[in-house]
Chains A and B, each alone.
Chain A
């Protein structure tokens, strides 16, 4: 990088900070800080979710895996996008109708205050750790691109501005900067793609020079085989239905239908975007075949192919991907602490002003925690493994108790929920750390354990019945807000167009699954069927949000 590149980066950081100052005036209540006053529109929401979803883990971690193992890692993003559609059509509308701010808040409505506090505390640590992973990958990439090796200096460059603008403007500045950052990261990826493809001799060069099977989307053996696709799809559904960092934006949507549209659109726009970091990862295999650290593949491509001055713009795009993820999750942790722990347990008589102050203070403290966790990531075996370990162990049981049993079976009580969650997490820890299971198996084991233990404990203990559970069951159908605003979104469609779109969506899903299972037999048509099914699925999902 030369002086002009550093100036571009500096100006970008300055603009982001200035946004924080502007939006500081917009934050008059805790709802403004957490949820942008529940005014986010579908396209803003889609950009915000996409910006949070795409980060340097995509450009560094996933591209690095593509370098080593070939294209199948793209399913991590693609199935995540498919999961966003499921969440947008069937789950988020219920949460949005309940006007909750956090997933633990839903757990109190559904089970008990104890479950809320328990999960909230666990999630504060889980999100803080994830933030550390995000920061760590940003630093590694920046070291490679700039040639400037100081870990601490990069940590500070990434942290200071994002912590400040999140403290000042809360979700308002997170939303606005996320939209700018989404455009910047997509723009910089569009600069990179043709340069990389021309360097390897375009598509024919790529297919000729890559090792056999590197472009096979569904493999029948190896770490990233068809079982990986199923496991990561299940994890994706869990992520899209219970991840606070992601869903908080949807809770901030202007109404139920906008929440559904925002999630579906986010899934659709991130799908072609994934090719913009996976293809460079594959091309790096041809251009730099003997890299000791695959994570440095895309950063190396950038430094060797992008001319100075343009390099600054591309770095700004990469920085954007990271800042949006950090700001969103920082805001998420602050919301969980201020809403689920401070307001709910520590100071029940807190005024809105007190809560706002605490939320800002917690954003600062979690920012410091994120920096400390970033130093721990290499000790735990690299960014990717650390992230996958955490989500596999802690998220799947939460999905089981919150969504599967929380929304589908009234008989499940708080004892069952807590027991199922702990049993699921412990089974994951034993599997990972004592038996060295891979994350595919850990996913199935944690989900299976929670699925079995939760109803057993519930059926052995007293049945609960309260008006809040009835309110949740009512939210599965409709809300007063929708009736009042004459903008009803029916989860089960009422019109022919709505039913037809749901049929298209379901057909796409079935074709996708058939494609994946055909991949297990090594069929040459498997990839075409799975990708075709995915596209049909997206089309059906999109039309569903525009029909009734």
Chain B
């Protein structure tokens, strides 16, 4: 069976970007959510 190195290399680079951009932004958003929650909590306590 023929294996097309060019197409699959392009595909693999795209796939690696996809994986990185699923996990790292998810982690960064998680931190932002925690930060927002603690801000809201502090606001509530101040009131």
Binding site for B on A (CB under 8 A): 26, 39, 41, 43-44, 46-47, 176, 179, 182-183, 186-187, 189-190, 193-194, 197, 202-204, 269, 272-273, 275-276, 279
Knowing A47-B25, A179-B25, A269-B21 are in contact, say whether A276-B10 is a contact too (CB < 8 A): yes
- Can you give 6 contacting A-B residue pairs, CB < 8 Å? A26-B36, A43-B21, A187-B18, A193-B7, A194-B11, A203-B6
**Would A183 and B10 count as touching, CB distance under 8 A?**
no
| Closest CB in chain B relative to A353 CB, distance in Å | 17
Taken residue by residue from 26 to 42, chain B's Cβ proximity to chain A (1 for < 8 Å, 0 otherwise) reads as 00110110011000000
Contact between B11 and A190 (Cβ–Cβ < 8 Å)?
yes
Contact of A44 with B6 at beta-carbon distance under 8 Å, contacts A183-B18, A186-B14, A187-B18 already known: no
CA of A197 to CA of B2, assembled, Å: 12
Q: Chain A contacts of B13 at CB under 8 A? A: 272
Our count of residue pairs bridging A and B at CB distance below 8 angstroms stands at 65
The reply to whether A176 and B29 contact each other, CB–CB distance below 8 Å, is yes
A-B pairs with lowest CB-CB distance, top 7: A202-B4, A43-B24, A41-B28, A203-B6, A272-B13, A197-B7, A179-B25
- Contacts A43-B24, A182-B21, A203-B4 given: A272-B29 contact, CB under 8 Å? no
Q: Which of A43, A182, A190, A193 contacts B28 (CB 8 A)?
A: A43
**In the bound complex, CA of A203 to CA of B28 (Å):** 38
Q: How far is the CA of A68 from the CA of B35 in the complex (A)?
A: 51
Contact B29 A179 (CB under 8 A): yes
Whether the Cβ atoms of A43 and B25 lie closer than 8 Å is: yes
Q: Judging by beta carbons under 8 Å apart, are B14 and A189 in contact?
A: yes
Q: Which residues in B have some Cβ–Cβ distance to A below 8 Å?
A: 2, 4, 6-8, 10-11, 13-15, 17-18, 20-22, 24-25, 28-29, 31-32, 35-36
- Complex: chain B residue closest to A272, CB-CB: B13
If A43-B28, A44-B28, A179-B29 touch, whether A194 touches B21 (CB-CB below 8 Å) is: no
Tell me, rounded to whole Å, the shortest Cβ–Cβ distance linking B31 to chain A: 8
Determine the distance from Cα of A272 to Cα of B10 in the docked complex, in whole angstroms.
Answer: 7
| Interface class of chain B by DSSP | helix
Chain A residues within an 8 Å CB radius of B15: 190
Tell me whether B28 and A269 are in contact (CB under 8 A): no
Contact partners of B29 in chain A: CB under 8 A: 44, 176, 179
In contact, A44 and B11 (Cβ under 8 angstroms): no
Q: Give the chain B neighbours of A43 by CB distance below 8 A.
A: 20-21, 24-25, 28
Apart from A194-B11, A272-B10, what 5 extra A-B contacts exist at CB < 8 Å?
A186-B14, A193-B14, A203-B6, A272-B17, A275-B10
Residue from B11, B21, B36 in contact with A193 in the complex, judged by beta carbons closer than 8 Å: B11
Q: Is B7 a contact partner of A186 (Cβ separation < 8 A)?
A: no
Residues in A with CB closer than 8 Å to B22 are 183
Given A39-B32, A44-B29, A189-B14, also A202-B21 (CB < 8 A): no
Q: Considering the chains assembled together, what is the distance between the CA atoms of A279 and B15 in angstroms? A: 16
Query: Which B residues lie within 8 Å of A47 (CB)?
Result: 21, 25
Is A202's CB under 8 angstroms from B17's CB? no
Q: Contacts of B36 on A, CB cut-off 8 Å? A: 26
Closest chain A residue to B36, Cβ basis: A26
- Contacts A190-B11, A197-B4: A44 and B17 contacting too (C-beta < 8 A)? no
Contact indicator A269/B2 (Cβ below 8 Å)? no
A30 to B8, CA, bound (A): 46
Residue from the list A179, A189, A197, A279 in contact with B21, Cβ < 8 A: A179
Q: How far is the CA of A204 from the CA of B21 in the complex (A)?
A: 31
